[in-house]
Amino acid sequence: MIPALILIPLAAAIICLLTGSRRVYEYATVLSCAALSGVALLIVGGALSGDIIKSSGGAIYADALSAFMIVVITLLSLATSLYSVEYMGNELMHGHIDAKTHRYYYLLYNLFVLTMLLVPLANNLAVMWMAIEGTTLVSALLVGLYRKRRSVEAAWKYIILCTVGITFALLGTFFIYYASSGASGGGMGALEWTALLAMAPGLNPATVRLGFILIIVGYGTKAGLAPVHNWLPDAHSEAPTPISALLSGILLNCAFYGILRFAVIARASLGYPFVRDMMFLFGISSVLVASIFMLIQRNAKRLLAYSSIEHMGIIALSFGAGGFGFYAALLHILNHAIGKPLMFFVTGRIKGRYDTVESEQVSGVLKTMPMVGAVGFLGIMALAGAPPFGMFISEFLMLKAMAAGGHWVIIAVFLAAGGMVFYGLLRSFGGMFLGLPEASEPARLPEPLASPMSARIPMPVGADVNRQLAVRRFRGLLSGIVMFLMAGALLVLGLYIPGPLDRLITLSAGIIGG
């Protein structure tokens, strides 16, 4: 199963590289993600039975926490690949990209999925660092896909800031290795997570403390934790909408996964209070910074980017709370991985209709685009933490865990920031969804848009027109079904958590809690 997780996206990437047929590389990507989801469910089944996958050389290790991350990565990748067929097809048709860039997108998409899957599979912490760095290199090319000034600037900012952050993470890994080599006698085994966990109580506390600080700053940059979050709003707003969904729903969680693996070692070596305080510091900073900026944002994609910073802060606070806060954090990771991509999909549909995502230039979406408006309104309520959606449950469990620990000041600050977030989301998206259609003129793009690129796209004639219209309707229906299923999942997780999912999260929380 483990080789399949690596070989399937690699094979799809090779197909995208070798073929020029749009239908072939689109189908290859979707089928690859579907196959990966099936493999992930098999791994989850093994994890629920108590199986732990280890390679003979110690390079691969997959426990319940790994299985949880793998299933989140694969299922969201499948949803995003289905949405990409319609969205990127429209970008090609309207001349925003050419045929070569369209194929290039799918090549990089499969490589992006591959690098993200390597993160939870790595037992060696240096290999995990390389996998996270790999996600940076591939996703930076996707952020700058449009090759416009703003997208290229966002890609460079992303590369520079995340490279600085990942360098701090590398230094932290070196410090952990230094501490472990003194206890174990050296060798690459001193960087294996399983070996480090066993020897953690005997590691030098001062070295581990410095190493963990560097790790949380380094990987925290990639995870979007304030104050090292500056790349995130630009990258999310300039990337193609499906990539914004992957960045927010998966990539941030992969970086946070790296923090968690080190946090377990640090807690065993230093005790829980130090790890808790670091999580609280970065968590509450992220919530406060995001809540302030969300009050002044007018661009929907940038607003969703700051919302991602807020939710990563909530995840950090939940881990810091300890106890069943671990369960709350993992449940929130899942809810956010569904809710945030859903809202990026909605903004992508709105942009296709109005040619903008500026909240002041869009209104009446519920009347002009009823399905998109209804699903989007549900998604915004979920992101705002309103009942009965899943994020309300995970945030409530977080507050309950913090109350049990007596962290009342943090609770008060969080609730105040949460009120600002709720207002910011409802003010921007509420006007877009609930306003009068007459207040804004839908700037629906002509088909195709008059541009040098679209001028080179052959125009269909006769029966080809009907066939292409049928294909477009089918692709639109497919992405609409994906959006409905995601909105339904957010609602279901607020009312009922299926038994296998509950057990998987419980087992994963047990690993984090030691």
340-397 per-position pLDDT tens digit: 999 999 998 888 888 888 888 888 888 888 888 889 999 999 998 889 999 999 999 9
Q: What number of CA atoms fall less than 13 Å from residue 290's CA on the CB side?
A: 34
**How many other C-beta atoms lie within 10 A of the C-beta of residue 234?**
21
3-state helix, strand, coil in the chain (%, to 5): 80, 0, 15
What confidence score (pLDDT) does residue 95 get? 83
Q: Report d(CA 330, CA 256) in Å as an integer.
A: 11
> CA 74 to CA 82: how far, in whole Å?
12
Looking at residue 99, its pLDDT comes to: 87
Concatenated DSSP letters for 432-500? HHHS-GGGS---PPPSS-SSHHHHTSPPP-THHHHHHHHHHHHHHHHHHHHHHHHHHHHHHHHH---HH
| pLDDT, averaged in runs of 10, over the chain (514 residues) | 88 91 90 94 88 74 90 94 90 85 93 94 88 90 88 88 90 88 60 82 88 93 87 85 90 92 89 91 94 88 91 94 92 94 91 84 86 90 90 93 92 93 88 71 45 42 63 78 91 92 93 83
- Please state, in angstroms and rounded to a whole number, the distance separating the CA atoms of residues 340 and 44: 24
Name the token pair of 215. 């790790």
Q: Report the alpha-carbon distance of residue 85 to residue 472 in Å, rounded.
A: 10
| Degrees, nearest 5: CA angle 167-171-176 | 145
CA distances from 315 to 234, 309, 331, 380, 408 (A): 22, 10, 9, 18, 18
Preceding omega of 227 cis (within 30 degrees of 0): yes
The residue ranges of every structural domain in the chain are 2-512
Q: Which helix (H) or strand (E) holds 219?
A: helix 205-223
Position 391 scores a pLDDT of: 92
Place of tokens 């929130």: 332
Say how far apart CA 203 and CA 180 lie, in whole Å.
6
Q: Quick one: how far is CA 16 from the chain centroid? A: 24
- The residue with tokens 């709350």 is 328
Look up residue 402 and give its two tokens.
């913090």
Report yes or no on whether pTM surpasses 0.85. Answer: yes
Cα Rg of the chain (Å, integer):
22
Please give the span between the terminal C-alpha atoms of the chain, in angstroms, as a whole number.
27
- pLDDT value of residue 402: 94
Q: Report the pLDDT value the prediction gives residue 181, as an integer from 0 to 100.
A: 74
List, as one string, the DSSP characters of 342-396: HHHHHHHHHHHHHS--BGGG---HHHHSHHHHHHHHHHHHHHTT-TTSHHHHHHH
List Cβ neighbours of 171 (8 Å cut-off, separation of 6 or more). 214, 218
How is residue 360 written in tokens? 């002041």
Helix, strand, or coil (residue 54): strand
